[in-house]
């Protein structure tokens, strides 16, 4: 059983201008352990003024950070990568404590997160080497094209990947030369505060990264966005909140990156290798207890293989261990809070009341913590709410289909287009279906596609822009054209 490190109380404050500060009012917010339902730490609660102080700090050093040699920025990111790896245990403990993520997955999240610092350290060093100098067609003057940082950036991250979502935004922002204000979810602030400390120790100058935790997100974000010095917002969260932020961003024509909700289809054809499909579906559904925007929300199985697939999937779910996130054998931890658990349960009850079959799970686990069992639903009627909503819990909704065209139609029949998964041994079909699905990402015969080197993002109401990959750096850059007459 892993044990948590002693909490460093200096890190339970706001991180502004390189200093750990109490909030203006001295108020604090509790951090609840979802496995027990009890508070185990308290962090400073930022006011709107604290948020603006963080923006001031970011703006003050924007020019100097942008002028810092790219090689120096790259070296800082590389040191951050190494430090996160060296402190894997400490980060994983915080993630398990504040998010309820099972130990093995918490460690995987740490490595995934560190990978963003390594990936963008590698890109940072090349930034100025990639400019272009050409002649305009009439040979009258030169056209110089270079990249410059967008400027002070507001980064808003969710609770489901407390370290990875911050890493995916901070690493490219710093690589590009942007300064940042990070507002992590109030449920999971401790991981971000530890990351701020790691960044500071790695050499990030005061003011380049600021972290504000608040119980008043709406007002604090609105105030920072209203300020014309804020040049970029990168948000990961629900489509509903994303739409509101887009409307606010429009007021100042602000550069935006939006990673929003999903409703991922996972398609298993008759000709799939069933063991590969089961493994992929298990991962795509159960990773983080289904609390991910790339989680398989709708599992479509072709009629010829459906009975065998469903029976074997249920067998796997019945065998998995639910329990203490710190137990290395735990596969399914608690959900983030009681509200999330009630939402998941109400989707299940709605479907069952309307006629769905629930061969496993479906009942709230009584006792301490916000546990919900791995659940399967089949025969889901057309009017069940679960068909349209993002589940964000360990509930596998299984549907059947007959033909390729039929399943493509069903897969695309949603306003979302984030992740999708296809299982088949027919390569031509795999590529054809991947191409026909209107989603930003498709996994072929794999249930985990997240990777720092790949562009993560969605189409339709799943968002705008990409994070990670080559595109991830571009999200924090402007293209500058200079005409030069010699
Ligand atoms: C998310 O759920 O928002 C991100 C998951 C991932 O990066 O894999």
Per DSSP, what are the bridge partners of residue 215?
none
Q: In terms of domains, do 253 and 129 share one?
A: yes
Mean pLDDT of 439-451: 98
pLDDT in tens, 185-199: 999 999 999 999 999
Statement to judge: residues 240 and 269 lie in one domain = no
Same domain, 338 and 227: no
416 and 460 Cβ atoms separated by less than 8 Å = yes
Domain with 163 in it: 9-260+462-485
Q: Where are the alpha helices (DSSP H) in 15-153?
A: 48-60, 62-67, 70-86, 88-99, 103-124
Please give the angle made by the CA atoms of 207, 213 and 219, to the nearest 5 degrees: 100
pTM over 0.85: yes
Q: How far apart are CA 358 and CA 197, in angstroms?
A: 46
Q: Is residue 109 part of a domain?
A: yes
Do 97 and 131 share a domain, yes or no? Answer: yes
Mean pLDDT, all residues of the chain = 96
Task: Answer whether residue 2 is part of any domain.
Answer: no
Say yes or no: 289 and 324 in one domain.
yes
**From 107-111, 135-139, 187-191, 253-257, the region with the lowest mean pLDDT:** 135-139
What is the reported pLDDT for 126? Answer: 86
Domain check: are 342 and 440 in the same one? yes
> Same domain for 40 and 174?
yes
Of the candidates 98, 105, 109, 259, the residue annotated as catalytic is 259
Residues 411 and 392 in one domain: yes
Residue 333 in any domain: the answer is yes
| Confidence (pLDDT) at 132 | 87
In a domain, 457, yes or no: no
Q: What confidence score (pLDDT) does residue 130 get?
A: 76
- Residue 259 bears catalytic tag: yes
164 lies in the same domain as 33: yes
3-state secondary structure of 297: strand
Note the pLDDT tens digit of each residue in 12-28: 899 999 999 999 999 99
Domain count, the chain: 2
Pocket mutation for ligand 1, best pick of 185, 291, 450 (most atoms within 8 Å of C-beta): 450
- pLDDT of 10 > 90? The answer is no
Q: Do the bridges between strand 153-156 and strand 232-236 make them parallel or antiparallel, or are there none, so unpaired? A: parallel
Question: What spacing in Å lies between the alpha carbon of 57 and ligand 1's midpoint?
Answer: 29
Whether 91 and 238 map to the same domain: the answer is yes
Which residue, judged by its Cα, is nearest atom 3 of ligand 1?
Answer: 293
Kindly compute the dihedral angle of the four CA atoms of residues 281, 287, 290, 295, in this order, to the nearest 10 degrees: -60
Q: Find out whether the beta carbon of 291 lies less than 6 Å from any atom of ligand 1.
A: no
- Is the pLDDT higher at 409 or at 5? 409
Alpha carbons 73 and 59: distance in angstroms, whole number: 18
The verdict on the CB of residue 236 being under 6 Å from ligand 1 is yes
Regarding the beta carbon of 47 and ligand 1, being less than 6 Å apart is answered no
Report pLDDT digits (tens) over 145-175: 999 999 999 999 999 999 999 999 999 999 9
The model's confidence at residue 2, banded by pLDDT at 50, 70 and 90, is: low
CATH of the domain at 76: 3.40.605.10
User: In this structure, what CATH number is given to the domain that contains residue 310?
Assistant: 3.40.309.10
Give the residue whose CA is nearest to atom 5 of ligand 1: 292
Question: Pick the catalytic residue: 59, 178, 293, 358?
Answer: 293
pLDDT at 4 over 70: no
Least confident of 119-133, 404-418, 443-457: 119-133
List beta partners, residue 181.
154, 210
* pLDDT grade for 34, boundaries at 50, 70 and 90: very high
- What digits encode the pLDDT tens for the residues 358-413? 999 999 999 999 999 999 999 999 999 999 999 999 999 999 999 999 999 999 99
Confidence at 1, pLDDT banded by 50, 70, 90? low
The encoded tokens of residue 21 equal 């500060």
Q: How far is the CA of 138 from the centre of ligand 1 (A)?
A: 49
8-state DSSP, 385: G
For 261-317, write each residue's pLDDT tens digit.
999 999 999 999 999 999 999 999 999 999 999 999 999 999 999 999 999 999 999
In a domain, 3, yes or no: no
Confidence of residue 8 (pLDDT cuts 50, 70, 90): low
Residue 16 covered by a domain = yes
Instruction: Report pLDDT for 385.
Output: 98
483 φ, ψ (degrees, to nearest 5): -90, 130
| 245 and 304, same domain (yes or no) | no
Strands 38-44 and 28-33: antiparallel
Residue 9: name the closest of 197, 263, 226, 238 by CA.
197
Give the pLDDT band (50/70/90) at residue 9.
low
Same domain, 356 and 268: yes
For range 336-354, the mean pLDDT: 98
pLDDT score at 404: 98
- For residue 318 the two structure tokens come to 């019945």
Would you say the CB of residue 161 lies under 6 angstroms from ligand 1? yes
Percent of the chain with pLDDT over 90: 95
B/e letters for 246-282, b = 16+ CB within 10 Å, e = fewer, are: bebbeeeebbbbbbbbbbbbbbbbeebeeebbbbbbb
Is residue 250 in a domain?
yes
Confidence band for 454, pLDDT divided at 50, 70 and 90: very high
């Amino acid at each position: 059983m892993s044990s948590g490190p002693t909490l460093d109380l200096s890190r339970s404050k706001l991180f502004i201008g390189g200093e750990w500060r109490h909030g203006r009012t001295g108020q604090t917010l509790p951090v609840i352990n979802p496995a027990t339902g009890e508070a185990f730490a308290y962090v400073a609660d930022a006011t709107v003024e604290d948020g603006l102080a963080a923006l001031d700090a970011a703006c003050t050093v924007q020019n100097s950070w942008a002028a810092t040699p790219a090689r120096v920025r790259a070296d800082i990111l590389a040191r951050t990568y190494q430090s996160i790896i060296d402190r894997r245990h400490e980060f994983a403990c915080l993630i398990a404590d504040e998010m309820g993520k099972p130990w093995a997955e918490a460690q995987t999240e740490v490595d995934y997160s560190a990978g963003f610092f390594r990936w963008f350290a590698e890109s940072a060093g090349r930034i100025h080497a990639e400019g272009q100098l050409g002649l305009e067609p009439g040979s009258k003057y030169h056209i110089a094209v270079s990249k410059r940082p967008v400027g002070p950036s507001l980064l808003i991250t969710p609770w489901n990947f407390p370290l990875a979502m911050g890493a995916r935004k901070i690493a490219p922002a710093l690589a590009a030369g942007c300064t940042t204000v990070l507002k992590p979810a109030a449920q999971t602030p401790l991981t971000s505060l530890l990351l701020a400390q790691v960044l500071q120790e790695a050499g990030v100058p005061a003011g380049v990264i600021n972290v504000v935790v608040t119980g008043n997100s709406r007002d604090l974000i609105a105030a920072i966005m209203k300020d014309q010095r804020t040049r970029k917002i990168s948000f990961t969260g629900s489509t509903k909140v994303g739409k509101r932020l887009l409307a606010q961003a429009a007021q100042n024509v602000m550069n935006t990156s939006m990673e929003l909700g999903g409703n991922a289809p996972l398609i298993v054809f008759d000709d799939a290798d069933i063991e590969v499909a089961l493994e992929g579906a298990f991962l795509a559904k159960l990773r983080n207890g289904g609390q991910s925007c790339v989680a398989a929300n709708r599992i479509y199985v072709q009629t010829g293989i459906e009975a065998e697939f469903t029976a074997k999937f249920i067998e796997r779910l019945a065998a998995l261990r639910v329990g203490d996130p710190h137990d290395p054998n735990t596969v399914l931890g608690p959900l983030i809070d009681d509200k999330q658990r009630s939402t998941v349960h109400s989707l299940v009850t709605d479907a069952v009341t309307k006629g769905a079959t629930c061969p496993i799970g479906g009942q709230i686990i009584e006792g301490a913590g916000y546990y919900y069992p791995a659940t399967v639903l089949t025969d889901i009627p057309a009017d069940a709410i679960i068909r349209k909503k993002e589940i964000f819990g360990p509930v596998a909704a299984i549907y059947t289909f007959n033909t390729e065209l039929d399943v493509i139609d069903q897969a695309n029949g949603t306003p979302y287009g984030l992740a999708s998964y296809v299982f088949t041994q027919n390569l031509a079909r795999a590529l054809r279906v991947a191409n026909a699905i209107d989603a930003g990402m498709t996994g072929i015969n794999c249930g985990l596609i997240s990777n720092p080197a790949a562009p993560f993002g969605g189409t339709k109401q799943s968002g705008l822009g990409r994070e990670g990959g080559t595109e991830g750096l571009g999200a924090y850059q402007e293209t500058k054209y200079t005409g030069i007459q010699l």
